[in-house]
Amino acid sequence: MVFSKAKDVHVWDPEGRKYLDFLSAYSAVNQAIIISCCGCFHGRTTAVISMSCDNEATRGFGPFLPGLLKVDFGDADSLKTMFEAIGDKVAGFLFEPIQGEAGVIVPPKGYLQSVRELCSKYNVLMIADEIQTGIGRTGKLLACEWESVRPDVVILGKALGGGVLPVSAVLADKDIMLCIKPGEHGSTFGGNPLASAVAIAALEIVEEEKLAERAAEMGQVFRSQFLDIQKAYPHIIKEVRGQGLLNAVELNAKGLSTVSAFDICQSLKERGVLAKPTHGTIIRFSPPLTIRLKDLTEASKAFKDVLEHDLANMQRQSEGNDPHSPPEPCDRCGRIK
DSSP bridge pairs for 6: 11
DSSP conformation class of 42: -
- H helix runs in the chain, sequence order: 46-49, 55-58, 76-86, 111-121, 174-177, 193-208, 211-232, 253-256, 261-270, 293-305, 311-317
β-strands 125-129, 169-172: how paired? unpaired
pTM, two decimal places: 0.88
Contact 83, 118 (CB under 8 A): yes
pLDDT tens-place string over residues 134-183: 999 999 999 999 999 999 999 999 999 999 999 999 999 999 999 999 88
Integer Cα distance of 40 and 53 in angstroms:
7
User: Which residues are known catalytic residues?
Assistant: 41, 129, 158
β-strands 169-172, 153-156: how paired? antiparallel
pLDDT tens-place string over residues 104-123: 999 999 999 999 999 999 99
- Stronger pLDDT, 125 or 28, i.e. the higher one: 125
Integer Cα distance of 205 and 215 in angstroms:
14
> What are the residues whose beta carbons fall under 8 Å from the beta carbon of 62, sequence distance 6 or more?
none
Integer Cα distance of 255 and 118 in angstroms:
41
